[in-house]
Amino acid sequence: MRFFRKLLLILFILILIAVIICGIIGFVSYSKALDEKPLLTRTAEITDDEHYVPFSELSEDYIHAVISVEDRRYYDHGPVDFIGIARAIWTNLRTGELQEGGSTITQQVAKNLVFTQEETATRKLGELFAAYDLEQKFTKEEIFALYVNSAYFGDGYYGIYDASMGYYQKEPKDLNLDEASMLAGVPNAPSVYAPTVNPDLVSQRQKHVLNTMVENAYITQAQADKIIDDNKNIH
């Protein structure tokens, strides 16, 4: 029994040391990024753009679609969603596909605004510090707007305004459920899910978005089925 206690103590100390080291690495990574350009300067570059779309000018269907597919517990957690991470791992293992990610919308804003898209352990650790900083300085609605205004939607469209105007010739506040659910699925993999790339894959992604909206009670199954059926007839 004493041996196992010692073993558990050693394991706890090793985990604690690993956490401290990771924390230091993440803090240093984020600090270096801020030395290059402060966080508020980075966010101002988005909000000062002439085509910046505030939260209040986004269609309700689009907001619901993004939250459903990207971060369904967005309003219920902090910068990091540990429950969401566990759920994403389970969903991806169960389906055998990379359908969900564990990053919150806030973490994705941190990636888009502060770090490169390169997936490295150092960047991911720094991203956590950036996410916590963002939620200290901005509301959930402001962070959501920063996300959709900085996301890439394929075909050279950066931000929801350019994507909405480019693909549908209408402003984001006028997007209907079909259009909103289509665009909500694109930033996950713009080179694959952009509407002009592969109609079959785009339809599959849109169906997934609609299903998550049904699961979160934003729309009914009948509404989702109608859009899916209508799009089948078009193609």
Q: What is the pLDDT of residue 150?
A: 95
Lowest mean pLDDT, pick from 5-9, 74-78, 89-93, 165-169? 89-93
Q: Report the C-alpha gap between 191 and 174 in whole angstroms.
A: 25
Q: What is the pLDDT of residue 88?
A: 60
Helices (H), 117-198: 121-137, 140-150, 160-168, 177-184, 190-193
Exposure b/e, 46-78, CB count within 10 A at least 16 = b: beeeeebbebeebbebbbbbbbbbbbbebeeee
* pLDDT band at residue 169 under the 50/70/90 scheme: very high
Report the predicted TM-score, pTM, of the whole model to 2 decimal places: 0.84
pLDDT, tens digit, 9 for 90 and up, residues 71-124: 999 999 988 877 766 666 666 566 555 555 568 999 999 988 887 666 666 667
Q: What is the pLDDT of residue 51?
A: 96
CATH of the domain at 11: 1.10.3810.10
pLDDT, tens digit, 9 for 90 and up, residues 150-164: 999 999 999 999 999
Domain interval for residue 32: 2-73+80-234
- Does pLDDT of 226 surpass 90? yes
pLDDT, tens digit, 9 for 90 and up, residues 172-220: 999 999 999 999 999 988 989 988 888 889 999 999 999 999 999 999 9
Q: Which residue has the tokens 């389906």?
A: 95
pLDDT, tens digit, 9 for 90 and up, residues 116-136: 666 666 667 778 888 999 999
Residue 109: burial class (beta carbons within 10 Å; 0-12, 13-18, 19+) = buried
- Does pLDDT of 15 surpass 80? no
- Does pLDDT of 17 surpass 80? no
Q: What is the pLDDT of residue 151?
A: 95
Number of compact structural domains in the chain = 1
Q: What is the pLDDT of residue 11?
A: 76
Q: What is the pLDDT of residue 91?
A: 63
Q: What is the pLDDT of residue 135?
A: 95
Q: What is the pLDDT of residue 31?
A: 75
